[in-house]
Amino acid sequence: MAEGLEEIAARAGVSIATASRALNGKGGVKDETRQRVLAIAQEIQYSVSMAGRGLATSRTDTICFVVSRKSDAFNDDPFYPIIMRGLESELSNRGYHLLMTTLDVTQSKSASELRPVMERRVDGVILAGPDIPSRLIVDLKQRNIPMLLVDNDLTALSIDTVNSDNRQGGRLATEHLIQHGHRTIVSLLGPDSWNSSLMRGKGYQEAMAASNLTPRIIRADATTAKTGALAMRQALQEVPDLTAVFAANDAMAVGAIRELHLQQRRVPKDVAVIGFDDIAMSELYEPPLTTVRIFKREIGRQAARQMLDMLSEHSSAEHAPMQLLISTELVIRRSCGCQATIEH
């Protein structure tokens, strides 16, 4: 194997150490160099023994991806599976594996609930979702387990995170509704303890304040189609003259539209609606849903890179946590009122 490594290094024009890092998915190697080394290794049918490498380094080359067990994300709202695909693709390119596990967020109190972590079957943990218990995050941090949050943040703790720019997205959506001439805009949000919902709400409030408009927020205990319908019903009772709605996600937006139809309110003629996430089904609803796009695959790719940088042998012992924001984008369809003049 050593001779093969020397040949790869020579043909790639790099040192043996650099070739080894590239083959083993370590940091400190340029992407173009890594791809060149991997291509040469494939050409001469060189392979790295994963089992032997684990015994020699006490590393498993496996990352654990954790989501809430009660989440509907793998059924009604395919949000985290797309993030996971981006994550898995990037990890695979670096020679790492992904282990997905679910967590009962109503019972989990400590890292001991995560068997892959306690049994040392993974090198690091990526926790996805705003409903992951903060006590679990703190416990993992205190145990010095490499950890990263996706679609979440814990302001009281300095920790690595990868999130969409939810604040920007909330502001973009609300500004678009204001540009349509709406002045009574209600926002349907999830719990304010969920960072994503909190930030989207802040973006909405900033846009309303900039136009001297009064923000009206209705909060639900979850962000599903059912809670969206219930929140919409409450909004119509409290603000009967509302003309536009910004929802925390597409599921809530769809629930809101269903409730508006039941209440004989036409969308978008009577009430304009904008969602958030841009799930695959959003353009297939009637009317097609205007929403804020989250670049889910890119979040997964960046989370993988950030985690591997944390694990790199070249990382500083005094690792400075990074909080990365991925930009969002407004996707204009018909539920906001755009192109409404061509409808009959």
Q: What is the pLDDT of residues 321-337, one digit of tens each?
A: 899 999 999 999 999 99
What's the pLDDT tens digit per position in 233-247?
Answer: 999 999 999 999 999
Band (28; pLDDT cuts 50, 70, 90): confident
The yes/no answer on whether domain 62-163+295-326 falls in CATH 3.40.50.2300 is yes
Mean pLDDT of 311-316: 64
Q: DSSP assignment, residue 290?
A: B
* Percent of the residues in the chain that have a pLDDT greater than 70, as a whole number: 87
Separation of alpha carbons 194 and 212, rounded Å = 27
How far is it, in rounded angstroms, from Cα 217 to Cα 206? 13
CATH number assigned to the domain covering 2-48:
1.10.260.40
- Span 195-212, pLDDT tens digits: 999 999 999 999 999 999
CA 114 to chain centre: 21
pLDDT higher for 107 or 146?
Answer: 146
pLDDT over 80 at 79, yes or no: yes
Residue 82, pLDDT above cutoff 70: yes
Average pLDDT over residues 27-41: 79
Q: pTM of the entire structure?
A: 0.78
Q: Who has greater pLDDT, 42 or 321?
A: 321
- Every domain range in the chain assigned CATH 1.10.260.40: 2-48
* Residue 38 pLDDT level (bands cut at 50, 70, 90): confident
Does 74 have pLDDT greater than 80? no
119: left (phi over 0), alpha (psi -120 to 50) or beta: alpha
In the prediction, which pLDDT does 49 show? 45
pLDDT mean over 88-109: 86
The mean pLDDT value of the chain amounts to 87
Sign (positive/negative) of CA torsion 118, 124, 128, 131?
positive
Q: Determine the pLDDT at residue 168.
A: 98
Contact (CB, 8 A) for 96 and 126:
no
Q: Is the pLDDT of residue 144 over 90?
A: no
CATH 3.40.50.2300 fits 166-294+330-342, yes or no: yes
Amino acid at 28: G
Confidence (pLDDT) at 48: 53
What is residue 344's predicted lDDT score, i.e. its pLDDT?
Answer: 29
Q: Is the model's pLDDT at 251 over the cut of 90?
A: yes
Over 90: is that where the pLDDT of 155 sits? no
What integer pLDDT is reported at residue 158 of this predicted model? 87
Domain with CATH 3.40.50.2300 in the chain: 62-163+295-326, 166-294+330-342
Quick one: tokens of 169? Answer: 């997205």
Question: How many whole angstroms separate alpha carbon 291 and alpha carbon 62?
Answer: 35
User: How do beta strands 272-274 and 244-247 pair?
Assistant: parallel
Portion of the chain with pLDDT greater than 90, in percent: 58
For the stretch 112-130, pLDDT in tens is 778 888 778 899 999 999 9
